[in-house]
Structure 1
Amino acid sequence: MSDFYMTRLHEFTVVLYALCVLLYFIDFLHHNRKANRIAFWLLAFVWVLQTVFLILYMINTGRFPVLTIFEGLYFYAWVLITLSLAINRLLRVDFIVFFTNVLGFIIMAIHTFAPVEIDSAVKAQQLISELLLIHITVAILSYGAFSLSFVFSLLYLIQYDLLKRKKWGTRLLRITDLSKLEHMSYVLNVIGVPMLMISLILGIQWAYIKLPHMVWYDSKVIGSFIVLALYSIYLYMKVGKGLYGKSLALWNLASFLIVLINFFLFGKLSSFHFWYS
């Protein structure tokens, strides 16, 4: 029973770490100090949990846990979190903290869901199934964010057209102002991009365990990375280039078209994404 609760706690730690990466991503793009503070305290809590696990493991084994790859991954993730917390407090180099924790999350996910070192085959299969469930759930949530972002961009273009043609009336008044529509579309993409990135990390981990001979140029895999690239370009154009208005809304609409193609068409063509097995 204790092993069961320890496993659940490890998975809970990964979820907290994913939320932390999401908040650091928001701060990375938008210089949101509130998101940065919440991310820091979440990361500190993750560090406390990891440290407790590390100490308990050392007590149980009577040695420092670095003799196997499995143990080394855990200690490596702990070192990354420790360094990122120190950097956040002492140097205030936020971008390094964000990218360090993306790497740390990858290592943590590999450690938590890797089947090695797991005594029970049933437990290993359960972990792999839960990894797949989290991967699919987070991917669909990111697609939901992209869908709402698409709606806001579509409303932006409708409102833009009404204003340009000076079509005053109740329809114009019922649609909110352009700046708010553009901002909401951007915020939803800020949420969707790191969620899709997290989903892809977990999906790759699942495929590595379950499908060691998987074809990596599978249509669904390529399509998912194209979607991530398109929305990352959107964020770069918005934040890095300062682009706004109709052109950005059109890019967002085109990106969502690729989301639909990836979800419906590439899913059919995929060799293993026919809602998995």
Structure 2
Amino acid sequence: MVALLYELSILLYIASILFYFIDFLQQNRKANDIAFWLLSIVWLLQTVTFVSRIIETKRFPILTMSEGLYFYAWLLITLSLVINRLLRVDFIVFFTNVLAFFILAIHTFAPSSQSPAVAERLVSELLIIHITLSLGAYAAFTLSFLFSVLYMLQYSLLKKKKWGARLWRMADLSRLDFLSYVLNVLGLPMLLLGLILGVIWAYIQIDHFHWYDAKVLGSFVVFLVYGVYFYKRAVRQMQGKAIALWNIGSFLFLLVNFFLFGSLSKFHFWYS
């Protein structure tokens, strides 16, 4: 039961961070409220797990590295909930929760009293989550790329004044630009969380893990390229043809990373 609660809290935590990221970029109060309540459920599940551990061990469980990391993550979540509800400093809440998720992921692999079977199961399931998040991000980026291609196609038709049935069947330029942006909003945090879990898994499972592995470096460059996209789109308010071309270029690099760098990696086969 405790293992199931922990796994459920991880999944809800991922969903909460996704909604906080949406609010971070779009100032969306509804997304912020959903993220807050999801995080509240995570806090409740973690508290139940923590109290269960106290009852089981008959002590305050912070003596091992695993226990200390879990308590540290719980404290970060508690503080972020208080800040979000009392002070409304939303950006610090988002970054605090990304850090807390990272700590919680490390806790999974830290030395503890878990049986080898349970530890192996958690490692396997978090690898599955890593792959699922990475592929989910790739799917969102793919659709975003297609919307940018449609944007450029419609832009070209409008510039050449080719008024035909093909033009009227497309959405208007502003809508294509917005849909492309929204899909990237969904994709970037999924990619970040997938990278965090993937790196931790690699450190535990792979004897000779290196940061300079082609796929590892390529994946972080993909994250950086899309990060620049969000800087241009959200901070500098860049829209239209320029940002569509950047998005198309970002996706083309993603394909290079997925197929070429993946084939050069020492431990990646087909997944991110």
Q: Which amino acid aligns with 2:259?
A: F
Shift of 1:44: 0.7
Distance 2:47 2:8 in 1: 15
Matches within 5 A, 1:163-182: 163-182=158-177
Q: Deviations over 1:119-156 (max 9, x none)?
A: 43232222211111111111001000000000000000
- Specify which of 11, 14, 30 is matched with residue 34 of structure 1: 30
Q: Deviations over 1:73-123 (max 9, x none)?
A: 010011001100110111110001000000011111222x31622443232
Q: How many residues align?
A: 271
Q: Which amino acid aligns with 2:101?
A: F
Partner of 1:205: 200
- Specify which of 229, 232, 238 is matched with residue 227 of structure 2: 232
Q: What is the DSSP-based 3-state SS (H/G/I as helix, E as strand, rest coil) of the residue aligned with 1:109?
A: helix
Partner of 2:119: 124
Distance 2:20 2:58 in 1: 36
Range with greater deviation from structure 2 (113-122 or 168-177): 113-122
Partner of 1:148: 143
Q: Which amino acid aligns with 1:65?
A: P
1:82 to 2:78 alignment? yes
Partner of 1:251: 246
1:185 to 2:208 alignment? no
Partner of 2:16: 20
Matches within 5 A, 1:156-167: 156-167=151-162
Range with greater deviation from structure 2 (34-43 or 267-276): 267-276
Partner of 2:42: 46
Runs of 4+ in structure 1 over 3 Å off: none
Distance 2:94 2:235 in 1: 17
Question: Identity rate of aligned residues, in percent?
Answer: 60
Distance 2:197 2:123 in 1: 10
Distance 1:25 1:50 in 2: 22
Taking structure 2 as the reference length, what is the TM-score of the superposition? 0.97
Q: Deviations over 1:160-185 (max 9, x none)?
A: 00000100010000111000000000
Distance 1:130 1:56 in 2: 22
Partner of 1:62: 58
Distance 1:215 1:44 in 2: 37
Taking structure 1 as the reference length, what is the TM-score of the superposition? 0.95
Q: Deviations over 1:34-55 (max 9, x none)?
A: 0000000111111111111111
